[in-house]
């Protein structure tokens, strides 16, 4: 073998090693090894790129996303999901301030649309509707939206800048019902908590939130003709350092496994 050929091969090996090193560093020391599952280097057996992902998600997704996240991690070993739950308006503020995150899921399209320059193309992954949360056994006998106008009742609503607060105002205004809330909360879970703790007699929340506290609250249905439908769009964030992995997770949310989990929790098909 000539000395020139030997040098060329050595140079090629060095370049190849330099290209592969960052991939191994991003995924951990064992990622480049053959797992024996047929997965490609840097990808989980489920096919998604391995990564540590941070997902900003609407407060009403708290319980179901914990279940969905566990299912995703099981199907994609090497991927880890961290969720940050808050009101959609708070999530938007975090994105505006440059919070390090990979994906965003809001409880309305308006908030997501306001972040158009910061996200990829959003996809609606689920829908929801409103109910009236009341104490267990409905001690105040609230039967409909009109019942919330009773000045003797302590009613809590989400603040109008919060999606569920905006939906609540929409349905009350449409029925020409005036409600004077004792407080306006920063997210739907705070509204639910007030009713759970007996600090409020009633509040308007999403159907799925009321379903998480059936041992403490009852849900009074709001007829479809008087209700509002909440849409949940999901999108990747352009500042993500794990773009492919974030896109894989957002895509998975529209797939059959995630949809089964969402619908089992009471969410509607997108």
pTM: 0.81
pLDDT at 5: 38
Q: Which of 259, 267, 219, 242 is nearest to 81 (CA)?
A: 242
Max CA separation in the chain (angstroms): 96
Tokens of 15: 């370049």
Q: Which of 233, 235, 241, 255 is nearest to 121 (CA)?
A: 235
- Burial class of 75 by CB neighbour count within 10 A (0 to 12, 13 to 18, 19+): middle
- All residue ranges of the chain with pLDDT < 70 are 1-47
Q: Which of 137, 135, 112, 115 is nearest to 124 (CA)?
A: 112
**Strand bridging mode 80-86 / 52-58:** parallel
pLDDT at 3: 39
Question: Any idea what the Cα angle at residue 187 is, between residues 185 and 189, rounded to 5°?
Answer: 100
Q: What is the pLDDT of residues 156-194, one digit of tens each?
A: 999 999 999 999 999 999 999 999 999 999 999 999 999
Homologous superfamily, domain 129-229: Periplasmic binding protein-like II (3.40.190.10)
Q: Which of 30, 98, 46 is nearest to 245 (CA)?
A: 46
What ranges do the domains of the chain cover?
52-127+230-264, 129-229
> Which CATH topology does 52-127+230-264 take?
D-Maltodextrin-Binding Protein; domain 2 (3.40.190)
Asked if 52-127+230-264 and 129-229 have one fold, the answer is yes
């Amino acid at each position: 073998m000539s000395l020139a050929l030997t040098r060329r091969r050595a140079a090629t090996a060095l370049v190849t090693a330099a290209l592969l090193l960052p991939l191994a560093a991003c995924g951990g020391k064992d990622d480049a090894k053959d797992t024996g599952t047929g997965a490609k280097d840097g990808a989980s057996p489920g096919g998604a790129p391995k990564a540590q992902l941070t997902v900003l998600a609407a407060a009403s997704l708290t319980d179901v996303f914990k279940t969905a996240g566990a299912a995703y991690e099981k199907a994609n070993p090497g991927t880890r999901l961290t969720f940050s739950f808050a009101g959609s308006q708070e999530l938007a503020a975090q994105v505006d301030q440059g919070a390090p995150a990979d994906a965003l899921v809001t409880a309305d399209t308006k908030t997501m649309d306001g972040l158009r320059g910061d996200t990829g193309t959003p996809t609606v992954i689920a829908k929801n509707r409103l109910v009236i949360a009341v104490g267990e056994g409905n001690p105040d006998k609230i039967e409909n939206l009109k019942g919330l106008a009773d000045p003797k009742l302590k009613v809590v609503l989400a603040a109008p800048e919060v999606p569920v607060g905006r939906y609540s105002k929409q349905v009350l205004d449409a029925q020409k019902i005036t409600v004077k809330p004792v407080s306006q909360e920063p997210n739907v879970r705070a509204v639910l908590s007030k009713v759970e703790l007996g600090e409020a007699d009633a509040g308007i929340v999403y159907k799925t939130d009321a379903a998480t506290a059936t041992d403490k609250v009852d849900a009074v249905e709001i007829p479809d003709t008087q209700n509002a439908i909440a849409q949940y769009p999901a999108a990747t964030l352009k500042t993500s350092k794990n773009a492919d992995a974030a896109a894989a997770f957002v895509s998975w949310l529209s797939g059959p496994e995630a949809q089964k989990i969402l619908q089992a929790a009471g969410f509607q098909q997108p």
